Structure 1
Amino acid sequence: MQDKANIWHVPRRLTCVGETPSFSSSPPLSPKSATPCPQSPSSPSSVLATPLARLWKPTAQRNLRNQWSKLASYRQQWASSSSTARSHATALVNAYLSQKYMPSMELGALRDIPNIKKKASLKLFKQQVLHRGKLLSSYKHMVSVVIHMVNISRSMKCFLKGASSSPLVHFSGYSEDKNDPGDGGGIPVFTFWTISCFEEVAEELVQMFILELNLKRLLVVELLSISCKVPPLNSLHWSDELYPGEFSDLSICNLYSEETCKPVYPRLDDQKSEMPAADLTSSQIMMFCRVDEIFVEVGDEMHVTIS
């Protein structure tokens, strides 16, 4: 059981490989390696007129800086919640093991106290209940963080608001014209990257948090199920909803299958079986090292330091 608590810690300094799927279909896959974003030529009808492009660019730059600053903030919230969850997981496992081996434990001078082992076991049981609740609360917050990151990754575009012939030009994060793709016609926003480049990198980033969240859920289900009772009193299954509304939250992260009506089970890209391979954990760890690199790349392109 101690291994389940230790596995909560995810190193950050490895090399990652793989590909990034879209949010709209199929279970999550591995993130891709860093490559320069190709610039796709836009159709003539979608290219902003030069005066509009000059006005669009600073607005788009400001929006991108804001969105990536939010992503960095939620990344810190994730790290905090993950650390808190790891502490509660460790305390839960320790209390469980202490209660499990209480009958054979040598108490020394305390052995003469009436019902000492029974009282100690009850106290350890209450500690487990407490840490289960706190672990679940931390997991719920991590789900919330990932949902915010998903929404931010889809808010990189900047759309023209109102008629282009209006003397006052405004821009918005929402499209009012189906012919406006919100990317300024594919022109570079800062130096080289277009809006689509920032979207691709943001999707890759968020996908890694989704993948780790999926693995975290696997650990939470196991940790919430440990019990000294036979049969276990709190036995949970992967298909169980851990808190009210969890499945709706997981759907936003593309971690809930409408076909099977249960959460997507962690698996490797080339696995057809729903059961994870022995090296699933190391694969997840290898992917997450890209996080620091992505923020550095984006910061260099925007000429800012994202932290």
Structure 2
Amino acid sequence: METSAATPTRPPHQAATSPSPSPSSSLRLWRPAAQRNMRNQWSHLSAAKEQWLAAVADGRAHASALVNVHLSCRNMPAMDLGVLKDMPGIRDKANSKLALREEQYSGMLLSAYKEMFSDRQDNLNDSGDGGGAPVFKWFSVLEFESLAQELVQMFVSEQKLKRLLLLEFLSIALKEGVELQTSLNWGDELYDGESNKLQSIGLQSGDAYSPPENWCAERLGSQRPGNLPLHEVLQVYLTTWHANMNINRSRIGEIFELVEEEMKIKLS
């Protein structure tokens, strides 16, 4: 009678272990998730850029309308009304209408400013940096982040300049008539919840939102009650708003072109 072979057993002193994946195997597991995350993040950046530029264009239109109405109101006492000049109360009625339009355009300008802020999209599925390996073909996670930071810094700098101009535009309405002593300061909230919004998207740390670099408080007209800016100054403000002084459109195009070529997708 044959004796059956004993079932092989693992020696008790050896723990069961799975072989560690090789570096190349780990990268194969990491790369698809990293690529998906990178596409999502850059798609969000592209959409935020377009939203910001559209809001800036709307803001300039509203600011131009506000300035025109303000100048009409300021010039009303000396304005030649032609055959209407002897109509009782015509200037007061015209001023009342202009004041309402001034308030309307101020609100529309403030709404455009709010639209410049895109909700922050934190990376909740961070798959790591892959040890510096390329995510697609050439660029590592760190290199993608460096390009994104370059973009963000442009818009942060320009956002602060836009807010500075917004203080001036909104203040010209406050300096009419009984509101002569009212002024806006950099630290004031321009709308309820602005500070919370700035903190939520990472533009404000604590209670302070740092002003633009090389900003001189003494030059801010909104902090000098009763000092209405000249027509020429208001035109410079409008031109500066439109120019996007801190935005290098050529460089932005280069960055997105590089990213699209690397990812082999079209972001916009």
TM-score normalised according to structure 2 size: 0.74
Asked whether 1:300 is paired with 2:248, we answer no
The one-letter code sitting in structure 2 at the alignment partner of 1:92 is: L
Counterpart CA distance in 1 for 2:84 and 2:115 is 41
Q: What's the CA shift string for 1:136-172, capped at 9, x where partnerless?
A: 11112213x2xx3xx34x53xxxxxxxxxxxxxxxx7
Distance 1:51 1:262, change over 3 A: closer
The answer (yes or no) to whether the contact 1:208–1:288 under 8 Å persists in 2 is yes
The answer (yes or no) to whether the contact 1:92–1:128 under 8 Å persists in 2 is yes
Matched residue of 1:306: which SS? coil
The answer (yes or no) to whether the contact 2:132–2:140 under 8 Å persists in 1 is yes
1:173 is matched with which residue? 125
Deviation at 1:202, TM superposition (A): 0.8
Deviation at 1:231, TM superposition (A): 5.2
Matched residue of 2:184: which SS? coil
1:115 is matched with which residue? 89
The answer (yes or no) to whether the contact 1:102–1:121 under 8 Å persists in 2 is yes
Worse-matched range after superposition: 246-255 or 196-205: 246-255
1:125 is matched with which residue? 99
The answer (yes or no) to whether the contact 1:225–1:232 under 8 Å persists in 2 is no
2:77 is matched with which residue? 103
The one-letter code sitting in structure 2 at the alignment partner of 1:238 is: W
Counterpart CA distance in 1 for 2:31 and 2:202 is 32
1:190 is matched with which residue? 136
Q: CA RMSD in A?
A: 2.8
Equivalent residue pairs, number: 225
Q: What's the CA shift string for 1:64-108, capped at 9, x where partnerless?
A: 112211211111111111111111111111111000000100111
The one-letter code sitting in structure 2 at the alignment partner of 1:265 is: P
Worse-matched range after superposition: 114-123 or 232-241: 232-241
Determine which structure has greater relative contact order: mean sequence separation of CA pairs < 8 Å that are 6+ residues apart, divided by chain length.
Answer: 1
Q: What's the CA shift string for 1:249-276, capped at 9, x where partnerless?
A: 2234554464xx44211114xx8x7778
Matched residue of 1:100: which SS? helix
1:237 is matched with which residue? 185
Q: What's the CA shift string for 1:10-34, capped at 9, x where partnerless?
A: xxxxxxxxxxxxxxxxxxxxxxxxx
The answer (yes or no) to whether the contact 1:89–1:131 under 8 Å persists in 2 is yes
| Gaps in structure 1 of 5+ consecutive residues | 1-46, 156-171, 175-180
1:207 is matched with which residue? 153
Q: Percent identity, aligned pairs only?
A: 42
The answer (yes or no) to whether the contact 1:299–1:305 under 8 Å persists in 2 is yes
| Gaps in structure 2 of 5+ consecutive residues | 1-20, 220-239
Counterpart CA distance in 2 for 1:262 and 1:182 is 32
Deviation at 1:293, TM superposition (A): 1.8
Deviation at 1:230, TM superposition (A): 6.1
Counterpart CA distance in 1 for 2:50 and 2:165 is 21
Matched residue of 1:112: which SS? coil
Counterpart CA distance in 1 for 2:262 and 2:181 is 54
The answer (yes or no) to whether the contact 2:167–2:186 under 8 Å persists in 1 is yes
1:248 is matched with which residue? 196
2:252 is matched with which residue? 291
Q: How does 1:49-68 map to 2 (within 5 A)?
A: 49-68=23-42
